[in-house]
Chain A
Amino acid sequence: MAEQSANSADDRLARLAAPAVTEAEATPPRHPRGGVAARIFSGPLPWLLPAVGALALFYLYPIFEAVRLAFTDARLFDTETQLSMRSINSMVGSSTLGVILRNTLTYTVASVVGQIALGLAIALLVVRAERARLRGTLVLRTIVLAAWVIPAIANGIIWQLLFSEAPFGAINSALRMAGVAPVAWLSDPGNAMTSAVIATIWQGTAYSMILLYAALKTIDPALYEAAAIDNARPWERFWFITLPHLRAALVVNAILILIMTLNMFDTILALTGGGPGRATEILSLYAYGTVFQNFELGRGAALSMLLLVISLSLTVVLIALLPRERRG
């Protein structure tokens, strides 16, 4: 039925347009079939209501509730709460928050830059290989993307097995075989952050790769042909053709990855649990622990609002970097 109308849409239009118009003039505007139901469904409200209602209930309401809770001294299992600034004061005043924010900054910047850089490098490589008609590009793309499909919690477990300092840890036992001293990947505070970043980049790169690959494919090949005639060097082609054309895709990509990384919870929880000490504890883990381990609901709500404010303000900053025509 649908395909039929797809094929004959235009001539059906031609056949039906004229009588429909005269009919409309002759009789007052009336909805084709059914009365009330059709009229209700002609406006946007009933169409939007289910989805928007669900979002209002499970996103909008909780955000307001979190703001309210942040201004109370609520604890998870007490119903008695009083308005107070204690939660916010204790959050801002604690020396831990500084450590957590520094961890969050290090982890997010390193992971985001790593994912975009590696994703771009692989995308360029795949495009270059496709242009030269080399075999195996599809295999490489599939392998990289498969990492993205692995659940983040499993990603944390896999990298824990790789970084493990026990005899069965893959990397250390390989190093030992090569005669190199093993590294304290997870038990040394400095290394633990590096390990967490590596695990995050390994999994997340696929997303950047596929977005940037799609964007690279939209660049007009004629530009590169013109550059070849002008004897442009490879880095000149990259700098003057590729990068400017990728700007919008890079910014969109940066926004999406930034949000995913800032909110990352699973990989770090399974890999280091935030440790050793607080060495890899980022804001999301800290907020979780505050609410569900220390039961300080008010303070946890304040921390989660801080996470939300950071996400939104960084997004706004990045949107300002979009080329003009893509904004708005």
Chain B
Amino acid sequence: MMVRSRSERAADWAVYAAMLVLALAFLLPVLWLVSLSVRTQAEVFLGAARVIPEAPTLDNFARVLRDGGFQSYIWNTVKLASLGAAGAVALAAPAAYALSRMAFRGKGPLMLGILSVQMVSGLVVLIPLYRFMDRLGLLESHFGTTLLYIAAGIPVTIWLLKVSFDAVPRSLDDAAAIDGLSRFESFALIILPLALPGLISAFILNLILNWSQFLIPFIMLSADDKWPISVAIFRFAGSTSAATTQLLAAACLLAILPALAIFVILQRYILAALTAGAVKE
């Protein structure tokens, strides 16, 4: 065991202090939201003087949760986010397989093209797509909205899956080919099961990004009963007065809790997804 010098120990304390300040800076905004959400209307107006309310209440959550609209927003979000994530993984996996295992002309430019799609803002494509979707009768529908979620998720998903398919040893493909397995069989029976952690990472990352997705449903869906939670809380924030701040805080907290829960439970997969590719040496 190494003996740490006095100056090193002093530095340790400085590091601790800095860590504490940072943790507080990142925690306080969310704690403030929690604080507002358990207050009564009267205590909301006391501001920072009542960070911990004297009469904490869960009434705000009860009111939000009982609201039929809120339940439909959450259901819409779950539906759009999970179908969008599943669709993106399903379409990206074969493409990632081809990019990982096959040599063909134009592969480099194609990969660069897929990567550069990520540089395109959703707004850039949604402006012309609005009329296009309208003509197809897909505006105002969850089906059309899901298609856009899928398309938005494809580039990053191809990238992630290619990295995890690349990690499966090629000798397995050769063995499979010799065993008489077709390309499709070796993809479905060998690559996919072995790259399962990568598939899960990609699905979860899509799920979280889709949970946050705002622009696509904001432009595609104008009917209240079709909205996901992101659009609903924005509309709610625009229509609330000071008197309903505690309800807005409760709704906002309920909207971010599922994403936070998925993140905390599956942190390992998300970190794998976030760092894959970007810091490949």
Question: A-side interface residues toward B, CB under 8 Å?
Answer: 1-3, 5-6, 9-10, 12-13, 16-17, 20, 31-34, 37-38, 41-44, 46-48, 50-52, 54-55, 57-59, 61-63, 65-66, 69, 76, 122, 125, 128-129, 132, 134, 136-137, 139-140, 142-147, 149-154, 157-162, 166-170, 172-174, 176-177, 202, 207, 210-211, 214-215, 218, 249, 252-253, 256, 259, 262-263, 265-266, 269-270, 284, 287-288, 291-292, 297, 300-301, 304-305, 307-308, 311-312, 315
Contacts and interface: CB of A to CB of B under 8 A. Distances in A.
Given A58-B152, A63-B128, A147-B29, 19 more contacts: A12-B178, A20-B178, A51-B92, A54-B151, A58-B129, A125-B22, A129-B15, A142-B264, A143-B26, A154-B252, A159-B29, A168-B46, A214-B275, A252-B279, A259-B118, A259-B121, A265-B121, A292-B219, A307-B123
Contacts of A292: 219
A44 B27 contact: no
Contacts of B32: 158, 161-162, 170
- A interface SS class: helix
B62 to A, nearest CB: 20
Given A33-B182, A151-B256, A50 B15 contact: no
B171 A10 contact: yes
A153 B214 contact: yes
B274 A144 contact: no
Contacts of A166: 242, 245
Nearest to A170: B32
Most buried by A among B12, B15, B249: B15
A55 B155 contact: yes
A168 B215 contact: no
B237 interface: yes
- B interface SS class: helix
Interface residues of B, number: 112
Nearest to A315: B119
B143 interface: no
A51 B22 contact: no
A287 B127 contact: yes
Contacts of B123: 263, 265, 284, 287-288, 304, 307
Interface string B241-273: 010010011001001100110111001001100
Contacts of A177: 48-49
A144 B27 CA distance: 8
A240 to B, nearest CB: 20
Contact of B104 (A44, A136, A207, A211): A44
B54 to A, nearest CB: 15
Contacts of A65: 128, 132
B97 A162 contact: no
Interface in B145-197: 147-148, 150-152, 154-155, 158, 169, 171-172, 174-185, 189-190, 193-194
A311 B48 contact: no
A205 B245 CA distance: 28
A86 to B, nearest CB: 17
Nearest to A171: B48
Interface string B54-73: 00000000000000000000
Given A140-B23, A150-B259, A41 B184 contact: yes
Nearest to B104: A44
A79 B194 CA distance: 52
Contacts of B119: 259, 308, 311-312, 315
A287 B215 CA distance: 13
B94 A63 contact: no
A190 to B, nearest CB: 22
B94 to A, nearest CB: 4
Contact of A129 (B19, B182, B234): B19
